[in-house]
Chain A
Amino acid sequence: MLTNEIKNILESSQKEGWVLEPDAKKIFAQSGMDVPNFRVATTEEEAVAMASEIGYPVVAKIVSPKALHKSDVGGVKVGLKNEQEIKETFTAFSQFEGFTGLLIEEVVSGVEMIFGAKIDGQFGPVVLLGIGGTSVEIYQDTAIRMAPLRDVDGPSMIESLKAKKLLRGYRGADPIDEDRLCQMLSAFSTLVVDMADSIESIDLNPVMCTTDRCVIADARIILKS
């Protein structure tokens, strides 16, 4: 069941055709999924205050209905360390077309995964799990299942990834928490089924996975046209 806030976000994003990142993160947070600690600043003073509240270093991203692919337009800065850098970034990003605010959030890291969803013409809502990051379409190391997921589906999706060793402590790294990953995937699949009438596809890329956290670093919800 969708909360009223989620319904309102989906409704008010209709005219853009997609959901702005801060709104998308609200949707996932409300559905029991982990998102980075974030704020949206509309003035420089707010940006400075929020960054110090979150704690440096921080990530800053443009919020604009014109910037669907934020990094393609240079609208993402990672690892801002002080007030000066926040101010410079605010000034630069506020020149972008459609600027409505600056998203400031904690820096998260881990193994980059992708969670995806699509409303398929023949099968309805489906979800995807794969190795994420910017090269996701090069490696195409993904597993697809019909939503909602059953208990057996999450583990079998992980098992079917070619790069599953990367998740299990490759070359001395700590293994990621696969149970947590599966729980989050399952919550995601339920949400996808609930939103099936409104959405076309979703990319959560990357979802940063570590030994104690799976957190959605970026989220894109494309709405049904």
Chain B
Amino acid sequence: MNFDRMLNPTSVAVVGVSSKNDRHPANIVFKKVRLRYSVKAYAINPRGGELNGEPLYKSLDEIPEPVDLVVIAARAEHVPALFESCIKNNAGGAVLISGGFSEVGNDELQEKVVSIAKEADFPFIGPNCLGIFVPGVVDSLFTPSERMEQVTLGNVAIVSQSGGIMVDLMFKFSAFGVGISKAISIGNKAMAREIELIEYLGKDPDTHVIALYIEGFNENEGREFVKAASSCNKPVVVLKSGKSKVGMEAVSSHTASMAGDYRVFSSILAQYGIVEARDEIEMINFCEVLSCYPRTIGNNIAIITLSGGHGASASDFCSERGFNIPLISTETQEKIREKLSPGIRNIASLTNPVDLTGSALDEDFIATYEILSDSPEFNAILLLVLPYSPSITQDLGAKMSMPTRKRVKPFIAYTSHTDRYKIFIDGFKYNQIPVADTIDGAVMMLEAMRRYQSC
């Protein structure tokens, strides 16, 4: 299914704009599209007239160009005719915000709408959804602009069955500096399901990671989903709800009793290397790391720190999650020691974790990182730094970001997150080094990479 025109529109029509009720969802969407995005916006109301000096078109027939995106917030019974009109006027696709379909038992109307769209290969999102949010390009959310947080542009695409969860995730991702390429709320997912969107986003050059919030699948849809997600060549991260649903029927076999819906879901995702996040915190950390390093790692981690406590704590989290902290060979230790600044050469502890002490300079971190990332016994490097340590500078992150090295061996940082050290943190983030705000979060990121594979 080709969503190109509707997700990158130059013209947008909003159907259902009211001349009397300016708080109508269609009015909110129209106002936003008209004022905030560089697209041509058209308001449609079958009665015509005008709204605040803007013409209200009676239908798409009156609009002088084929529009790329039609946002529909009209009553459900009008939708079949509206779709016919979209198709006749060569529109690029539709977001169907309107409710009143399968979610209230009106399967027949939903099927009718789908069959009209399918026949004409006309892409649409919904019904019963918030629709799409493409930062800087367009959005169909009927939340007023002033109530929205600024969303950071980036390379994570969000696809969500729930519009509310989608907006929440967008805000939280942005608060953690994880940028969004597109966010799509699929509602009843009558035609555009997770599967079609994964297929589309898999080819979208702006998207590196696909994050999904899933409530459940229809019959056998899970099988198709797994096939799409495991063959799209991009990390797919899933947050699931409805885990606690208890089967109603009595079960007559051990297998039926033990293989409940959620266990099956979770096991099969892991089987196909689709990364399941347990909660929003994991979701954010997983997406951040996989957007920097879309690949898998082995179990052996090198830890570099300047605080013994942080090193010990990271070792615990690593072992809890099944990672090894192998010893560093004496030969490698010697190599590192030669490169260290005189102030710490005799006090740094060079086993694993490496503790460079509070007197370490930026150059000591860089030297240690370079040597350890050249050591084949390690699969990834964890750096735990404290921005208030007197001898390091705010440029540490930028200095440590070496694209060719990172490509060979992933490198993740933890640092305490406070407003005072934002520039220090951004030195990592802006240079594509994932930074966690807790030690566990950094280890979580390692786990996300390890899970991104069949297991």
Sample of 16 more A-B contacts, CB < 8 Å, known A128-B259, A205-B254: A68-B252, A116-B253, A116-B259, A120-B222, A121-B219, A123-B265, A124-B220, A128-B255, A130-B258, A137-B258, A143-B267, A144-B263, A152-B454, A156-B454, A202-B255, A222-B256
List B contacts of A201 (CB < 8 A). 251-253, 255-256
8 Å CB contacts to B: which residues of A159-197? 160
B255 contacts A122, CB within 8 Å? no
A116-B253, A146-B271 known; A121-B258 Cβ under 8 A: no
List A contacts of B454 (CB < 8 A). 150, 152, 156
B255 contacts A203, CB within 8 Å? yes
A140-B258, A144-B263, A152-B454 known; A124-B253 Cβ under 8 A: no
Judged by a CB distance under 8 angstroms, whether A118 is at the interface is yes
Q: Could you say which of B216, B253, B267, B272 contacts A122, with CB atoms under 8 Å apart?
A: B216
A124 contacts B223, CB within 8 Å? yes
8 Å CB contacts to A: which residues of B206-224? 216-223
A123-B222, A123-B223, A123-B226 known; A144-B256 Cβ under 8 A: no
Judged by a CB distance under 8 angstroms, whether B312 is at the interface is no
B258 contacts A136, CB within 8 Å? yes
A137 contacts B259, CB within 8 Å? no
A203 contacts B261, CB within 8 Å? no
B254 contacts A146, CB within 8 Å? no
Bound CA–CA A126/B262 (angstroms) = 13
List B contacts of A136 (CB < 8 A). 254, 258
Residue of chain A at shortest CB distance from B217: A122
Bound CA–CA A130/B265 (angstroms) = 17
Pairs across A and B, CB under 8 Å, 23 listed: A116-B255, A118-B259, A118-B264, A120-B222, A121-B261, A122-B221, A122-B223, A122-B261, A122-B264, A123-B264, A126-B259, A126-B264, A126-B267, A128-B255, A140-B258, A142-B258, A144-B263, A144-B264, A144-B267, A144-B268, A145-B268, A203-B253, A203-B255
B230 CB, min distance to chain A CBs, angstroms: 11
Bound CA–CA A10/B160 (angstroms) = 42
Contact with B along A182-225 (1 / 0, CB 8 A): 00000000000000000011110100000000000000101000
Judged by a CB distance under 8 angstroms, whether B281 is at the interface is no
A120-B264, A122-B221, A203-B254 known; A146-B259 Cβ under 8 A: no
List A contacts of B455 (CB < 8 A). 156, 160
Residue of chain A at shortest CB distance from B247: A121
List B contacts of A35 (CB < 8 A). none
B191 CB, min distance to chain A CBs, angstroms: 19
List B contacts of A158 (CB < 8 A). none
Q: How many residues of A contact B (CB 8 A)?
A: 34
A71 CB, min distance to chain B CBs, angstroms: 13
A120 contacts B261, CB within 8 Å? yes
8 Å CB contacts to A: which residues of B79-119? none
A146 contacts B226, CB within 8 Å? yes
List A contacts of B265 (CB < 8 A). 122-123
Judged by a CB distance under 8 angstroms, whether A117 is at the interface is yes
B233 CB, min distance to chain A CBs, angstroms: 18
B-side residues, CB < 8 A to A, are 216-223, 226, 251-259, 261, 263-265, 267-268, 271-272, 454-455
Main secondary structure of the interface of B (DSSP, over half): helix
Bound CA–CA A182/B216 (angstroms) = 31
A142-B258, A156-B455 known; A126-B268 Cβ under 8 A: yes
Residue of chain A at shortest CB distance from B267: A144
List B contacts of A137 (CB < 8 A). 254, 257-258
Residue of chain A at shortest CB distance from B221: A122
A120 contacts B253, CB within 8 Å? no
List B contacts of A205 (CB < 8 A). 254
Most chain B CB neighbours (cut-off 10 Å) among A122, A142, A222: A122
B452 CB, min distance to chain A CBs, angstroms: 15
Residue of chain B at shortest CB distance from A17: B252
List A contacts of B221 (CB < 8 A). 122
Judged by a CB distance under 8 angstroms, whether A23 is at the interface is no
Most chain A CB neighbours (cut-off 10 Å) among B220, B254, B259: B254
A122 contacts B219, CB within 8 Å? yes
List B contacts of A68 (CB < 8 A). 252
Residue of chain A at shortest CB distance from B266: A144
A122-B264, A123-B268, A152-B454 known; A222-B252 Cβ under 8 A: yes
Residue of chain B at shortest CB distance from A132: B254
Judged by a CB distance under 8 angstroms, whether A114 is at the interface is yes
Judged by a CB distance under 8 angstroms, whether A153 is at the interface is yes
List B contacts of A142 (CB < 8 A). 258-259
The 10 residue pairs across chains A and B that have the minimum distance between CB atoms: A116-B255, A122-B222, A144-B267, A123-B222, A122-B217, A201-B253, A201-B256, A203-B253, A146-B268, A118-B259
Residue of chain A at shortest CB distance from B251: A201
Residue of chain A at shortest CB distance from B216: A122
Contact with B along A14-33 (1 / 0, CB 8 A): 00001000000000000000
A126 CB, min distance to chain B CBs, angstroms: 6
B253 contacts A145, CB within 8 Å? no
Bound CA–CA A126/B270 (angstroms) = 14
Q: Could you say which of B216, B220, B253, B271 contacts A222, with CB atoms under 8 Å apart?
A: B253
Residue of chain B at shortest CB distance from A143: B267
A201-B253, A222-B252 known; A116-B264 Cβ under 8 A: no
List A contacts of B252 (CB < 8 A). 18, 68, 201, 222
Residue of chain B at shortest CB distance from A69: B252
Bound CA–CA A192/B100 (angstroms) = 40
Contact with B along A30-48 (1 / 0, CB 8 A): 0000000000000000000
Most chain A CB neighbours (cut-off 10 Å) among B217, B259, B261, B263: B259
Residue of chain A at shortest CB distance from B219: A121
A118 contacts B255, CB within 8 Å? yes
B143 CB, min distance to chain A CBs, angstroms: 31
A122-B222, A123-B223, A126-B259 known; A145-B267 Cβ under 8 A: yes
